[in-house]
Amino acid sequence: MDLASKRFLGSNGILRPYSTAYKIYRHSGVILCMCVTRESQYLLTGSEDTTVIVWDLHTLAIKTKILEHIAPVLCVAAIVNRSLVISGGEDSAVIVTSLVHAMEITDDNVFLVTLQTENELHVRTFITGTHLH
């Protein structure tokens, strides 16, 4: 690859050469969408392979891999202050997953059910987080 193919427009409007900082591979298909969280803590990637990967940008390690879609993932977003990952797929599904526990939120978005420790089930309301059980 020649230098001309590595030029990007800087914030001042001047083209500058940049080198690749990192290349990370974990998807088995083409990456179709990505986003970086506001605090630049995580990178979310959605792929043709039907997965969403949440990358820790400080360590470049996979924080979690979301396997809920049955078709390519077309869009991803994060609500970090609520610890949520939202993804939309070609399967017409919108999946809301807890970033902390990597669990899918109920389809009706009413309850979050978690297994905290062995045989300890917790139920919380999704909107307020109120502990119900």
- Kindly report the backbone phi and psi dihedral angles of residue 118, in degrees, each rounded to the nearest multiple of 5, phi listed first: -55, 125
Rounded to an integer, what distance in angstroms lies between the CA atom of residue 77 and that of residue 131? Answer: 26
Domains in the chain with CATH codes: 29-102 (2.40.10)
For residue range 63-73, list pLDDT tens digits in order. Answer: 888 888 999 99
Rounded to an integer, what distance in angstroms lies between the CA atom of residue 43 and that of residue 53? Answer: 8
Look up the pTM and report it.
0.63
For residue range 75-113, list pLDDT tens digits in order. Answer: 998 887 777 888 888 988 888 888 776 555 555 555 665
Q: Specify the residue for token string 């049955």.
A: 70
Residue 15 amino acid letter: L
